[in-house]
Structure 1
Amino acid sequence: MAISAFDLFSVGIGPSSSHTVGPMRAAATFAEGLRADGVLTRVGRVRAELFGSLGATGHGHGSVKAVVLGLEGEQPESTDPRGADARLEEVRSSRVLRLAGSHEVPVDVDADVVLHRRASLPFHANGMRFSAYASATPAEDEEPLRRREYYSVGGGFVLDEDEVGGNRIVPDETPVRFPFTTGNQLLERCAESGLPISGVMLANETAWRSEAEVRAGLLHLWDVMQECVDNGCRTEGVLPGGLKVQRRAPRLARQLRSEHGGDPLAAMDWVTLYALAVNEENASGGRIVTAPTNGAAGIIPAVLHYYTRWVPGADDEGVVRFLLTAAAIGTLYKENASISGAEVGCQGEVGSACSMAAGALAEVMGGTPDQVENAAEIGIEHNLGLTCDPVGGLVQIPCIERNAVASVKAITAARIALRGNGKQIVSLDKAIKTMRDTGRDMKVKYKETARGGLAVNVIEC
């Protein structure tokens, strides 16, 4: 299965790639499908049903808002996060939905977007079903004009019912220059070609776009990451959702800017700041880069800021190499395990991002492919078993601090690996398999349902 860096890293809005970005993309795809089928103007009503983890925590993750905006034709890459709440309230009060951006149909948001808190669809915990009817008030036995099921499988990836069969994903068969599906194969491709991991990934990216377009696209993602950090460091206030979580990044930024040397660990405080800033922006529904998910979006930007600020010789070429290496490692998680908290817990989100950032930093700091693989393995090994237990179903507690801790952990993992020779007892492939197996054994209540862990032991107030 061919996976591009631009599948793993994409511009979107918070607070969740699987619960916000994915549902918006699915809803927009369904609406455009009505147009393609020639039935858009015949539609009198639309019904959206969210299942599993989407149904359990959809309100806290902004899934209802995402579905409504998606049905109106909005895309996470281009929608204005500052106007999203106002648009939802306009639809709710006017009771009119502009389907696919043009065809107006009546809507009762609370009745027509249904969150099934206990029921699930078969393929994945994040399932959706969209139905379009000719009648404005369809009877229970009315046949829909169009009905489709979609799955948000993590990181904003969406599969429709035609892309899953026998509980398997239909792979992208795009031929790439250096195919790999395991860490061992990736190291073999590096040895055969003499290229670093970033070079192997860059060669593969040219299957979809030119080398110049790859570089420009990755640097654009870096620009968005930097803007997100800046916004997070400037924006004061309380995060939405009812937990009354105070934004900490602005205060921490002021503190760090007022200090002048003397603390040998000050760099780690700045890394913490960068991660907090991104994840507070994500929690508020702001514009972020999914990397590889929204819940873990602060780790790669934080570690990349560490590289550009504290690693001698850092430049744009290094930024490109960093993101390519991180993407190569991320493909291994997509291929062999999961990056979905609803499927394997937070080890698949924060754990994967920590591993990706650790390996990427090791490469741009001069590591060999073996050392990069070692750094990535250390990054995931010490996140194994991490549960996804968001308090109130919001991507705030423990998600925001967890990104900060994992960012520092990624830097530590890279530095450990660079002090070694790349040889280790536990390979990255074995660690990824362990993560997958652990996720399968993990109780559902610890997989983004807000029914276990901190989610039930912390009183919402």
Structure 2
Amino acid sequence: MALSVLDLFSVGIGPSSSHTVGPMRAAKQFTDGLESSGQLPATVRVQAELFGSLGATGRGHGSDKAVVLGLQGHSPETVDTRTADDQVAAAALDAELRLAGSHRVDFNWDEDVVLHRRKSLPAHPNGMTFRALDHTGAVLRERSYYSIGGGFVVDGDVSGADKVVPDTTVLPYPFTTGDELLAICEREGKSISDIMLANELVWRTEEELRERLLGIWAVMRECVDNGCSAEGILPGGLSVKRRAPSLFKKLAEAEESSNSDPLLAMEWVNLFALAVNEENAAGGRIVTAPTNGAAGIVPAVLHYYTKFVPGADDDGVVRFLLAAAAVGILFKINASISGAEVGCQGEVGSACSMAAAGLCEVLGGTPRQVENAAEVGIEHNLGLTCDPVGGLVQIPCIERNAIASVKAINAARLALHGDGSHKVSLDKAIKTMRETGADMKSKYKETSRGGLAVNVVEC
């Protein structure tokens, strides 16, 4: 099994990687299978059932809409976010789908996309089943999929609770734990980003990788720009006002007036995170980092690096993302980045840890200091629940990204003041996160049945 930095950072659509991006990819994968097997022409109807957390909060996350878009051949990377809702509305109004973009079938919104609020599939909370029927009502094809966080989708036939994307690529420096990664760095005299780069060269050239990562950074910057300019109320019924535009104006004015506020940099970091997550909540173009619910943290800290760190450049951005991805891989392999599986500690917690590692790397940290920064980032998010009000990625998700972004910067700077030695290793913190998630009640794992979700009036 091997994971790439481009598996951890991928372009998608809001508001959720597990509940929007994953279902869209799964639906497209299902219709692609119909097409490749020659069963598409005989299909007259498709049905989709969403289970567990997908069923419980799927309406607020747009899971049902994502399924419709995926069945019609759209991908999260390329779907037009400006017209996505209109396309779904047209399918419901016209009572038809264009499977794989061309094959027409009848469609009944209420009957053909069913969200089961109290039923689950066995292997993961984010399960879904698709079936295609012929003109007699017989099942032509049926498949189950699991959306396991960060937009990753695995086939339902894959066994085991800790699912990862299968890849048998042999890497020059394979690692599955933080201790193994540190040992490799010490043996080879290389940084964490160096080790990641060497592994990435198995899949693509350094020039291509650099281009792809700077492309990811460009999407992150565009997302912040969009979030800073788009005013109004976020969709979903909670009447949450976008705050990034007004905050951006205040901070810009403060800079022009030579404001001496020593915490002004922190205010900018808050802005960057708010802008991203407001765009995510509005269904905009986003980068999973490693998930949509936590998509503001890595971009916010990267913006901090480029805006406030002297000498920051594109090489640093690439090294930041490589080091952050190395830590993200450890979470993906040894625990989870799915809020439906381990709570928000797996999303905001892992993103905070990744961002802390990336920043520490580009600030000149040793591998052990980088590992220390990552450990601090997750240790102080352990037990964080996922309790979105109204099933929407808005409250407390948007502010939570801002707070975690500042925490990541603090973790990196704190680690740089030490020599990298510390009592709790990153591996032990990740193990603790996995165990805490297993002990956490399901009502605190993206079901909107506990925490703030039941103590805040939805109006």
Calculate the TM-score normalised by the size of structure 1: 0.98
- 5+ long unaligned stretches in structure 1: none
Cα distance in structure 1, aligned partners of 2:352 and 2:71: 34
Cα distance in structure 2, aligned partners of 1:196 and 1:98: 49
For residue 320 of structure 1, the aligned residue among 309, 318, 321 is 318
Cα distance in structure 1, aligned partners of 2:330 and 2:44: 44
**Aligned ranges for residues 46-65 of structure 1 at < 5 Å?**
46-65=46-65
Report what 2:397 is aligned to. Answer: 399
For residue 377 of structure 1, the aligned residue among 354, 375, 392 is 375
Establish whether residue 146 from structure 1 lines up as the match of residue 149 from structure 2.
no
Decide whether the 8 Å contact of 2:53 with 2:125 is kept in 1: yes
- What is the alpha-carbon root mean square deviation over aligned residues? 0.9
Cα distance in structure 2, aligned partners of 1:239 and 1:275: 16
Decide whether the 8 Å contact of 2:57 with 2:448 is kept in 1: yes
Aligned-residue offset at 1:151: 0.3
For residue 200 of structure 2, the aligned residue among 195, 198, 205 is 205
Report what 1:248 is aligned to. Answer: 243
- Number of aligned positions between the proteins: 455
1:339-388 CA distances to partner (integer Å, 9 max, x unpaired)? 00000000000000000000110010000000000000000000000000
Cα distance in structure 2, aligned partners of 1:211 and 1:176: 15
Q: Which stretches of structure 1, 4 residues or more, deviate above 6 A after TM superposition?
A: none
The amino acid of 1:19's aligned partner reads H
Decide whether the 8 Å contact of 2:148 with 2:163 is kept in 1: no
SS in structure 2 opposite 1:145? strand
Report what 1:125 is aligned to. Answer: 125
Aligned-residue offset at 1:166: 4.5
Cα distance in structure 2, aligned partners of 1:59 and 1:128: 14
**Aligned ranges for residues 26-425 of structure 1 at < 5 Å?**
26-135=26-135, 138=137, 142=138, 144-162=139-157, 164-167=158-161, 169=163, 171-259=166-254, 260-425=258-423
Cα distance in structure 2, aligned partners of 1:13 and 1:389: 21
SS in structure 1 opposite 2:286? strand
Aligned-residue offset at 1:86: 0.4
Does the C-alpha gap of structure 1 residues 460 and 225 become closer, same or farther in structure 2, counting only changes over 3 Å?
same
- 5+ long unaligned stretches in structure 2: none
Cα distance in structure 2, aligned partners of 1:45 and 1:435: 42
Report what 2:16 is aligned to. Answer: 16
Cα distance in structure 2, aligned partners of 1:325 and 1:166: 28
Decide whether the 8 Å contact of 2:30 with 2:143 is kept in 1: yes
Aligned-residue offset at 1:167: 4.2
Aligned-residue offset at 1:272: 0.2
SS in structure 2 opposite 1:74? coil
The amino acid of 2:47's aligned partner reads R
The amino acid of 2:64's aligned partner reads V
SS in structure 1 opposite 2:90? helix
The amino acid of 1:183's aligned partner reads G
Cα distance in structure 1, aligned partners of 2:226 and 2:64: 25
Aligned-residue offset at 1:261: 2.1
Cα distance in structure 2, aligned partners of 1:424 and 1:110: 55
The amino acid of 2:105's aligned partner reads V
SS in structure 1 opposite 2:148? strand
1:133-155 CA distances to partner (integer Å, 9 max, x unpaired)? 0027x3xxx3x100000000000
Report what 2:2 is aligned to. Answer: 2
SS in structure 2 opposite 1:195? coil
Aligned-residue offset at 1:168: 5.4
Between 185-194 and 405-414, report the one with greater CA deviation. 185-194
SS in structure 2 opposite 1:58? helix
Identity %: 70
SS in structure 1 opposite 2:77? coil
Aligned-residue offset at 1:85: 0.4
1:276-320 CA distances to partner (integer Å, 9 max, x unpaired)? 000000000000100000000000000000000111110000000
1:64-89 CA distances to partner (integer Å, 9 max, x unpaired)? 11000000000000001110000001
Calculate the TM-score normalised by the size of structure 2: 0.98
Aligned-residue offset at 1:172: 1.8
